[in-house]
């Protein structure tokens, strides 16, 4: 069986083979690739965009071929017929039985759907949905922040309102691709429901995701973590809801004055330099204003870009992991925290309730309520028994949700089903 993957970024082993640093995010691709490499009778090609580059990159790692295609940043949000033609050439050379597309965020998904032209042999793996994200992108942001323009925004013509409109445009391509495809890999009730609204009657296959190896080896222990330490994995655009955590932090500090927040990513908010100011977006400027509130600056730290081992270390050091997103489908960071055993506090939004049960495997709160976020964090700080119970239950749940072998069997079963559907359809055409 020959399968072609279309991804938004190269999995870590592919990036390493190209001599490039691993992209942030996409850890589930690495986990699934490591398992698929072991499957007999499966030949794999991975295609992915090279953002801002002009030269394609091809290679092979193990028995997996890869093909990086140029994707000019200036055309990132535009549908390019030339890319559709390039995909046709790749498809003709590799002749896949199944095309598995990870994500609908960029127009290259629609280009591949059009180029392949086989809706019954195409599987779109839903990661998030731009068309729905567009509706929530501005949630919780004051009108003055939405309309604000910094020097960086003016130079790039890209303030928060402009960013939201980009999600709207990407959502148009996304919906067209979904309507032209018959099979979808879903993980939560939320993404299944959203796909059904766009394409009623589409086949939806529940496919769990496999995470990166270090998280399966995680071992959070209450006695080994730093008391009252909060970890956040993503924060650099509005939908991740970091502004809600900064609003909740003063409320947490009233009860626990030694609380510290550690966030993955570069420190671009605390830097007071003129150069840093010129590079800040209007959202970053808003976060900085919140951060400069009396008493907060010395309680928030940025740990830089983290690989999988460093992320696991941050989870193990934390007393609690917080996911304050305005919208999530199936947050891999929540899965990583649960596998590691770190107690989770997460906004009740999107598909998060499909990942954990409130009060048993984590604590959920109303996504736009800083008060309930603070209350939930303090509940874990207050109660060691609760923290340990949530940790143990979450780890058990995550070991099942992210079971590599089970998830790989599920993906292979869908591939086999699609090949069977295609064979039956072909025989019908021949009649």
β-strand pairing of 2-6 with 98-102: parallel
| pLDDT for residue 425 | 47
- In the chain the domains, ranked by start, together with CATH numbers, are 2-141+155-210+403-430 (3.40.50.2000), 214-401 (3.40.50.2000)
Contact 6, 113 (CB under 8 A): no
| pLDDT for residue 22 | 74
Per-residue pLDDT of the chain (431 residues; tens, 9 = 90+): 999 999 999 988 899 999 888 776 666 788 788 878 888 888 999 999 998 888 899 999 988 999 999 987 766 677 888 899 999 999 999 999 999 999 999 999 999 999 999 999 999 999 999 999 999 999 889 999 999 999 999 998 999 999 999 999 999 999 999 999 999 999 999 999 999 999 999 999 999 988 888 999 999 999 999 999 999 999 999 999 999 999 999 999 999 999 999 999 888 888 888 888 888 999 999 999 999 988 899 999 999 989 889 999 999 999 999 999 999 999 999 999 999 999 999 999 999 999 999 999 999 999 999 999 999 999 999 999 999 999 999 999 999 999 988 998 899 999 999 998 654 444 444 44
Contact 171, 312 (CB under 8 A): no
| pLDDT for residue 252 | 98
**Cβ–Cβ contacts within 10 Å for residue 388, how many?**
16
Question: H or E segment at 322?
Answer: strand 320-323
**Cβ–Cβ contacts within 10 Å for residue 278, how many?**
11
d(CA 256, CA 374): 11
d(CA 108, CA 303): 33
| pLDDT for residue 322 | 98
| pLDDT for residue 25 | 62
Classify residue 25 as left (phi > 0), alpha (psi -120 to 50) or beta: left
Contact 1, 7 (CB under 8 A): no
| pLDDT for residue 397 | 97
| pLDDT for residue 427 | 45
């Amino acid at each position: 069986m020959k399968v072609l993957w279309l991804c938004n970024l190269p999995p870590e082993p592919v990036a390493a083979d190209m001599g490039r640093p691993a992209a942030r995010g996409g850890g589930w691709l690495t986990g699934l690739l490591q398992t698929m490499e072991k499957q007999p009778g499966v030949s794999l090609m991975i295609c992915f965009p090279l953002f801002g580059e002009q030269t394609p990159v091809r290679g092979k790692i193990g028995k997996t071929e890869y093909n990086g295609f140029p994707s000019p940043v200036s055309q990132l949000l535009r549908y390019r017929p030339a890319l559709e033609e390039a995909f046709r050439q790749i498809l003709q050379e590799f002749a896949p039985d199944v095309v598995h597309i990870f994500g609908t965020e960029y127009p290259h998904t629609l280009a591949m759907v059009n180029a392949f032209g086989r809706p019954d042999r195409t599987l779109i793996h839903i990661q998030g949905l731009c068309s729905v994200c567009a509706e929530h992108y501005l949630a919780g942001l004051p009108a003055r922040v939405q309309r604000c323009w910094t020097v960086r925004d003016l130079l790039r013509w890209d303030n928060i309102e402009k960013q939201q409109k980009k999600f709207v445009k990407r959502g148009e391509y996304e919906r067209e691709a979904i309507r032209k495809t018959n099979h979808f890999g879903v993980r939560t009730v939320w993404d299944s429901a959203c796909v059904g609204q766009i394409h009623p009657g589409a086949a939806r296959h529940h496919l769990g995701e496999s995470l990166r190896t270090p998280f399966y080896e995680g071992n959070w222990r209450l006695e080994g973590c730093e008391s009252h330490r909060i970890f956040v994995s993503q924060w650099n655009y509005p939908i991740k809801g970091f502004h809600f955590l900064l609003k909740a932090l003063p409320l947490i500090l009233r009860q626990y004055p030694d609380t510290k927040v550690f966030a993955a990513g570069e420190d671009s908010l605390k830097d007071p330099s003129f150069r840093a100011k010129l590079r800040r977006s209007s959202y970053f400027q808003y976060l900085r204003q919140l951060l400069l509130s009396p008493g907060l600056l010395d309680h928030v730290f940025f740990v830089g870009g983290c690989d999988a081992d460093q992320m696991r270390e941050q989870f193990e050091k934390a007393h609690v992991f917080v996911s304050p997103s305005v919208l999530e489908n199936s947050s891999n960071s929540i899965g990583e925290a649960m596998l590691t055993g770190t107690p989770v506090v997460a906004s009740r939004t999107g598909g998060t309730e499909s990942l954990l049960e409130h009060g048993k495997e984590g604590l959920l709160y109303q996504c736009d309520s800083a008060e309930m976020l603070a209350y939930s964090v303090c509940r874990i700080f207050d109660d060691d028994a609760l923290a340990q119970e949530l940790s143990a239950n979450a780890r058990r749940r995550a070991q099942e949700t992210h079971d590599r072998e089970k998830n790989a069997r599920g993906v292979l079963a869908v591939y086999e089903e699609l090949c069977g559907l295609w064979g039956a359809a072909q025989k019908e055409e021949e009649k």
